[in-house]
Amino acid sequence: MRTVSHWINGDTVEAEAGSRFAEITNPATGEVTAQVALASRETVDSAIASAAAAFPAWRDTSLAKRTSILFAFRELLNQRKGELAEIITSEHGKVLSDALGEVSRGQEVVEFACGIAHLLKGGYTENASTKVDVHSVRQPLGVSAIISPFNFPAMVPMWFFPVAIAAGNAVVLKPSEKDPSAANWMAELWREAGLPEGVFTVVHGDKEAVDALLESPQVDSVSFVGSTPIAQYVYEKGTATGKRVQALGGAKNHMLVLPDADLDLAADAAVNAGYGAAGERCMAISAVVAVESIADELVAKIAERTRTLRIGDGAKDSDMGPLVTAAHRDKVAGYIDAGVEMGATLVLDGREVSDTADPNGFFLNPTLFDHVRPEMSIYTDEIFGPVLSVVRVESYDDGIELINANPYGNGTAIFTNDGGAARRFENEIQVGMVGVNVPIPVPMAYYSFGGWKNSLFGDTHAHGTEGVHFFTRGKVVTTRWLDPSHGGINLGFPTNG
């Protein structure tokens, strides 16, 4: 059986004797296709040491050389991104076109990082005080750890590592053990692009590996994406050991549909954003907030469109693939059971799996609930599956109140043709990323990605200028070149003059 192992010092490192392993499955068939080595603390420590050893030379490599390697990586990725998409589909299950879109969105951050020289410029003040000059610089942190989730095995790491590497840091990536092969593929691409050994490292593992990264004194920053409880754990444990941490947590993304909205557009958006990637997106719409006067019509349009979706192997002609594991499929099915028990109206039952799907795969059909109440678990919890809940409200104000009361604040959207209502929504909503007639408002790479409230622990979002600041720290240098007529001894506090 193929074994996915660690990438340290620019090459694959075989798993040490006595290693633990986890199975890698094809979610569309249930077939075990490979195994991944789970790193011990000793292996993680050696990976971190390798990155720390590579950091000084990479930090001192010129910006021109660093960005030339970024450009080379970008070109190689552009030429071969189809390969990476196929790997993602084979291990995650999302349809091939969606996997290709994931790679393309990650590539946007690589392209952004190619222009990082402009964003690393400091400032200079001549003669701030008499014959004293002051200048500022931004310098890399050191070793940057990235702990990424299963749902975007390429894009989420690329939110962080292009900026970190371009800024002069060395990176240790710990991908999800559910779909780890994308990380090794990208590591090989970095080597081909000319990145020095040790600057990009991959260690596979579970909580033992995560804790080793969080506790290591050689790790200077941690970037994490995952569920809110784990994000909080990573933030608290990482900051307790003096690290800079950005921990992006869970979501419960709402889509408010007003009576004047184009309901065909809104229904299309709800289906696309609710069921794309089988709902395994942190930016998925899981709650449609419909004003009562148009709710019946909107639900009917959503159901009509959902019934046309083809469910099956993501590598074939399908609209929606499986969930990532059998355990996760069963967990999501349990939420459907709970929604029925609590009295929500089950419009479409995803437990009735399409006959176009392999019975051994981890499939659920799209599920649609209506008349969902805020106390129901299908509303309160991040399900992370193809379950769409419609919550009815009487007015715009009620919709705003509902969304703002939610403990999550990752993404949201409003569908309306009223510019005044949209502008008010932008201003009043307590959510980090907002769409107006756009259901999945994932920002471009030159803006930052991140939520509010329980969707983010830490002060800094991913990529954009905030990402550049996260992976660098400021230094201010005050300079005076003495001439023979220096002022002599003066024990007073320095003043500007």
pTM: 0.95
Nearest to 184 by CA among 90, 100, 89, 87: 87
Q: Which fold has domain 2-250+452-477?
A: Aldehyde Dehydrogenase; Chain A, domain 1 (3.40.605)
Q: Which fold has domain 253-407+411-436?
A: Aldehyde Dehydrogenase; Chain A, domain 2 (3.40.309)
- Residue 66's Cβ-count burial label (10 Å; 0-12, 13-18, 19+) is buried
Helix (H) or strand (E) holding 473, with range, is strand 472-480
Question: For the stretch 460-494, what's the b/e string if a residue is b when 16 or more beta carbons lie within 10 angstroms of its beta carbon?
Answer: bbbbbebbbbbbbeeeeeeeeeeeeeeeeeeeeee
> Mean pLDDT of all residues in the chain?
96
Taking the C-alpha atoms of residue 353 and residue 442, their distance in angstroms, rounded to an integer, is 30
Taking the C-alpha atoms of residue 114 and residue 74, their distance in angstroms, rounded to an integer, is 9
pLDDT tens-digit series, residues 391-425: 999 999 999 999 999 999 999 999 999 999 999 99
Q: Is 496 helix (H, G, I), strand (E, B) or coil?
A: coil
Taking the C-alpha atoms of residue 330 and residue 336, their distance in angstroms, rounded to an integer, is 10
In this structure, of 16-20, 111-115, 251-255, 300-304, the range with the lowest mean pLDDT score is 16-20
Give the pLDDT mean for 351-366.
94
Say if residues 454 and 299 touch (Cβ distance below 8 Å).
Answer: no
Helices (H), 383-418: 396-405
Q: Is 421 helix (H, G, I), strand (E, B) or coil?
A: helix
Residue 36: both structure tokens together: 């991944």
Given the residues 282, 284, 433, 445, the one annotated as active site: 282
Distances (CA, A) of 303 to 283, 323, 339, 395, 464: 21, 21, 17, 23, 38
Taking the C-alpha atoms of residue 329 and residue 315, their distance in angstroms, rounded to an integer, is 19
Distances (CA, A) of 82 to 41, 73, 112, 220, 314: 34, 15, 21, 34, 14
Domain boundaries, the chain: 2-250+452-477, 253-407+411-436
Q: Give the model's confidence band at 485: pLDDT under 50 very low, under 70 low, under 90 confident, else very high.
A: low
pLDDT tens-digit series, residues 154-177: 999 999 999 999 999 999 999 999
The per-type count for the chain, helices as H runs and strands as E runs, is 15, 23
Taking the C-alpha atoms of residue 76 and residue 74, their distance in angstroms, rounded to an integer, is 6
Does 114 participate in catalysis according to the annotation? no
Residue 493 scores a pLDDT above 90: no
Task: Give the pLDDT confidence score for residue 492 in this predicted structure.
Answer: 79
Residue 217: both structure tokens together: 């004194």
